[in-house]
């Protein structure tokens, strides 16, 4: 159901990271209401990619951890043969991905400028606090399972006309609860 693709690039230089953030935050592709950040200080990410990149670079320079990988970049989209998605569902999935690794700076933006709506997500490889690089704990199959849980939940809510007004944070928390503790 979920298609999660890790972009196979380690973004070794600062300019790679900056260019990626500019691409993700392209105002032709996204909108401020379709963007969220974690552990980054920025009121409107769409107008401040330089601020976001400078904060990520500062964390990388401030930690004594050495890594050739600056960040991880993922593109997520549902399998459109199963369930065409909407920005609300993708936003819930983005929030859940951020909650999965809360110690790491992250940014997601939903690109809704075409029929194929998809989510771009980046994580800083270096934690804001702690000493484990994301590369040591990253689990892509957990991310895929989490996204599938949310897609199924939202599909069920839509069929029962219960999807309106549900907070993306509530949806993400419910999915994480099920993922880690099973159905209640």
Q: Can you give the pLDDT at residue 165?
A: 67
Q: Can you give the pLDDT at residue 83?
A: 60
* For residues 141-152, average pLDDT: 89
Q: Can you give the pLDDT at residue 96?
A: 93
Q: Can you give the pLDDT at residue 184?
A: 43
Tokens (6 digits) for 138: 């990253």
Strands (E), the chain: 2-6, 35-38, 71-78, 104-111, 118-127
Would the pTM of this model clear 0.85, i.e. be above it? yes
In angstroms, the CA 71 to CA 125 distance is 5
Q: Can you give the pLDDT at residue 108?
A: 96
Q: Can you give the pLDDT at residue 3?
A: 87
Tokens (6 digits) for 69: 């990988």
Give the residue among 22, 25, 47 at the shortest CA–CA distance from 34. 25
Q: Which residues pair with 76 in a beta bridge?
A: 4, 119
In angstroms, the CA 72 to CA 182 distance is 28
Q: Which of 88-92, 114-118, 119-123, 175-179 has the lowest mean pLDDT?
A: 175-179
The one-character DSSP state at 23 is H
Instruction: Indicate the fold that domain 2-181 takes in CATH.
Output: BirA Bifunctional Protein; domain 2 (3.30.930)
Give the dihedral of Cα atoms 11, 12, 13, 16; nearest 10 deg: -10
Comparison of pLDDT for 64 and 155, the residue scoring more: 155
Provide φ and ψ at 11, rounded to 5°. 50, 60
Highest mean pLDDT range out of 34-48, 65-79, 113-127? 113-127
Q: Which of 9-18, 79-88, 121-130 has the lowest mean pLDDT?
A: 79-88
* For residues 143-151, average pLDDT: 89
In angstroms, the CA 106 to CA 119 distance is 13
CB 125 within 8 A of CB 72: yes
Provide φ and ψ at 126, rounded to 5°. -100, 130
Residues in Cβ contact with 3 at an 8 Å cutoff, skipping those fewer than 6 apart: 76, 77, 78, 79
């Amino acid at each position: 159901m979920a298609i999660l693709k890790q972009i196979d690039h380690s973004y070794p230089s600062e300019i790679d990271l900056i260019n990626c953030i500019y691409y993700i935050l392209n105002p032709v592709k996204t909108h401020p209401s379709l963007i969220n950040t974690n552990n980054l200080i920025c009121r409107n990410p769409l107008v401040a990619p330089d601020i976001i990149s400078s904060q990520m670079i500062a964390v990388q320079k401030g930690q004594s951890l050495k890594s050739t990988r600056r960040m991880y970049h993922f593109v997520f989209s549902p399998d459109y043969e199963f369930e065409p998605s909407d920005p609300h569902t993708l936003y819930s999935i983005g929030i859940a991905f951020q909650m999965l690794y809360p110690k790491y700076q992250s940014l997601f933006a939903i690109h809704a400028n075409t029929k194929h709506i998809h989510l771009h997500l980046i994580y800083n490889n270096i934690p804001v606090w702690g000493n484990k690089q994301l590369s040591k704990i990253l689990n892509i199959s957990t991310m895929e399972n989490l996204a599938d849980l949310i897609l199924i939940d939202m599909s069920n809510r839509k069929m029962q006309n219960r999807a309106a007004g549900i907070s993306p944070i509530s949806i993400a928390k419910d999915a994480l609860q099920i993922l880690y503790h099973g159905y209640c």
